[in-house]
């Protein structure tokens, strides 16, 4: 699919402008509903509005949801971290089912997931000179 680039296109310009007009209109409508007294609105003929209580309540609900959302996201992250005794810290399905290719002479070995025992031996049992090269 070649059409997934974020480049500006004429259709996207029209979408953007429609969104801009719509959001400005929505904001003006919200201000009119919140500030203009009910008697004025009734005299014009617009009688079927929600209670003005919601003009204050909805933004408060939104901000509280935002605040709780930060804490909730942090908590969800902590809960989905694998515990220390879980198998997911060692391996996963892709590593278990990887194919073992035979290593050829004089060729770069194929990319593979090295088991943790070998990694440990390389890091901690090999001579210290190799590890301190960096």
**Interacting residue ranges for other proteins, rule: CB under 8 A:** 78, 81-82, 84-87, 89-91, 96, 115-117, 120-121, 123-125
Please identify, using beta-carbon distances, which residue of 24 and 91 lies nearer to other proteins: 91
State whether residue 21 is helix, strand or coil.
Answer: helix
Extract long-range pairs of 84-88: CB within 8 Å, 24+ residues apart. none
| Look-up of token digits 């909805």 | 58
Q: Quote the least distance from Cβ 68 to other proteins, whole Å.
A: 20
Q: How far is the CB of 57 from other proteins (least distance, A)?
A: 32
Query: CB-wise, 117 or 132, nearer to other proteins?
Result: 117
Which residues make Cβ contacts (< 8 Å) with residue 90, sequence separation at least 6? 116
């Amino acid at each position: 699919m070649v059409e997934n680039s974020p480049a500006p296109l004429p259709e996207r310009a029209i979408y953007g402008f429609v969104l801009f007009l719509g959001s400005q209109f929505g904001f003006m409508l919200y201000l009119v509903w919140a500030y203009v007294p009910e008697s004025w609105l009734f005299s014009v003929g617009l009688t079927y509005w929600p209670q003005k209580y919601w003009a204050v309540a909805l933004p408060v609900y939104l901000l509280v949801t935002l605040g709780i959302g930060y804490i909730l996201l942090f908590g969800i992250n902590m809960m989905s971290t694998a515990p220390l005794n879980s198998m997911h810290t060692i391996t996963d399905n892709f590593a278990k089912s990887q194919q073992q290719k035979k290593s050829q002479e004089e060729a770069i070995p194929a990319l593979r997931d090295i088991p943790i025992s070998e990694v440990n031996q390389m890091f901690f049992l090999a001579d210290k000179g190799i590890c301190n090269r960096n």
